[in-house]
């Protein structure tokens, strides 16, 4: 009896020690897990607990931990057109331009408009065909000549005009549709070769002409349109312009330089300048409400 009791006491004692040891180990593991968690590290970096949880939830903790604290980090991460590769640039640009909205900061960086135009020069990817981007950042090589340039009949244009064949076919459809509403769309400017652009630029300079290779007119995919009773300056007030606002994308064309977007496009508002993108893409760009520069950066060039 005596030995049994001693044995029982020993078992209880051993059991209690084991439980305490297990609880202690669990406690230590939990502590280690907490102090090594992304959430903890994010709060150490300066984020509130709520912000840290949100950063972890959207799966960006690694990205953020490798950078630094920013008061606008979450706003940027949640931006509609946020591009992961640009995160550091957004933060730096914000630090120097705190008066700008987050959407603007994202857009400016996405289209490489953070510096003066032509400071950043990139060669455009012409393999993208009708989707190629040509602006004051992306330029065409001196040797680039579009292969399918055709002459435009005088029925549709003032003077000698040339465009890409596909553009011409679609333009004719658009012209005829507008005609049914008693409107006349007249091509007033169109394809310009690299050499012609070079001459124009030499004559007018950066303020009035695009540099060679940087004008959409060098692609054969752009047309300047006016009406029978309007010029470029008054086109905005014409019925032809109103019709184009509603229908141009249905034929593959977009208004390329909208109002108040000069800081992104590099061009003041041009009510007469239309760019061909094909019906599908033009409709998407039109519906998105953003400039083609922004659209291209986010949807077509975002690797």
List contacts with Zn ion (CB under 5 A): 224, 273
Spatial CA neighbour of 163 closest among 142, 141, 144, 189: 189
Smallest gap from Cβ 217 to Zn ion, in A, equals: 6
CB closer to Zn ion, 51 vs 224 = 224
CB closer to Zn ion, 178 vs 221 = 221
For 7, 8, 228, the CA distances from 4, given in Å and listed in that order, are 5, 6, 114
Q: In a 3-state reduction of DSSP, which class is residue 224?
A: strand
Of 166, 181, 270, 294, which is the active-site residue? 270
CB closer to Zn ion, 162 vs 273 = 273
Please state, in angstroms and rounded to a whole number, the distance separating the CA atoms of residues 113 and 213.
Answer: 18
Smallest gap from Cβ 224 to Zn ion, in A, equals: 4
Judge whether 236 counts as a catalytic residue: no
Smallest gap from Cβ 223 to Zn ion, in A, equals: 7
* Residues near 223 by beta carbon (within 8 Å), at least 6 away in sequence: 161, 163, 167, 171, 187, 189, 190, 253, 273, 274, 276
Please state, in angstroms and rounded to a whole number, the distance separating the CA atoms of residues 52 and 58.
Answer: 10
Smallest gap from Cβ 255 to Zn ion, in A, equals: 11
Name the residue with the smallest CB distance to Zn ion: 273
Query: CA-based Rg of the chain, rounded to a whole angstrom?
Result: 31
Q: In a 3-state reduction of DSSP, which class is residue 164?
A: strand
CB closer to Zn ion, 114 vs 196 = 196
**Residues that are catalytic:** 270
């Amino acid at each position: 009896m005596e030995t049994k009791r001693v044995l029982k006491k020993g078992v209880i004692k051993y059991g209690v020690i084991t439980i305490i040891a297990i609880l202690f180990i669990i406690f230590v593991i939990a502590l280690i897990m907490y102090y090594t968690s992304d959430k903890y590290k994010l709060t150490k970096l300066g984020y509130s607990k709520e912000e840290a949880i949100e950063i972890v939830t959207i799966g960006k903790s690694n990205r953020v931990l490798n950078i630094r604290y920013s008061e606008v980090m979450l706003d940027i991460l949640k931006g509609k057109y946020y591009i992961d590769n640009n995160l550091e640039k957004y933060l730096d640009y914000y630090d120097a331009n705190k008066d700008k909205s987050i959407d603007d900061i994202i857009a400016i960086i996405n289209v490489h408009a953070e510096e003066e135009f032509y400071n950043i020069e990139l060669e455009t990817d012409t393999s993208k065909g009708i989707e190629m981007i040509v602006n004051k950042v992306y330029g065409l090589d001196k040797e680039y000549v579009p292969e399918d340039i055709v002459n435009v009949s005088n029925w549709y244009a003032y003077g000698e005009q040339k465009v890409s064949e596909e553009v011409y076919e679609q333009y004719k459809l658009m012209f005829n549709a507008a005609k049914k509403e008693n409107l006349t769309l007249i091509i007033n400017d169109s394809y310009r070769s690299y050499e012609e652009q070079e001459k124009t630029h030499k004559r007018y300079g950066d303020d009035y002409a695009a540099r060679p290779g940087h004008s959409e007119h060098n692609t054969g995919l752009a047309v300047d349109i006016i009406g029978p009773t309007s010029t470029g300056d008054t086109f905005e007030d014409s019925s032809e312009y109103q019709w184009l606002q509603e229908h141009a994308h249905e034929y593959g064309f977009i208004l390329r330089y909208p109002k108040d977007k000069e800081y992104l496009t590099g061009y003041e508002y041009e009510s007469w300048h239309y760019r061909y993108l094909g019906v599908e893409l033009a409709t998407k760009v039109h519906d998105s409400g953003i400039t083609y520069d922004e659209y291209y950066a986010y949807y077509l060039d975002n690797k």
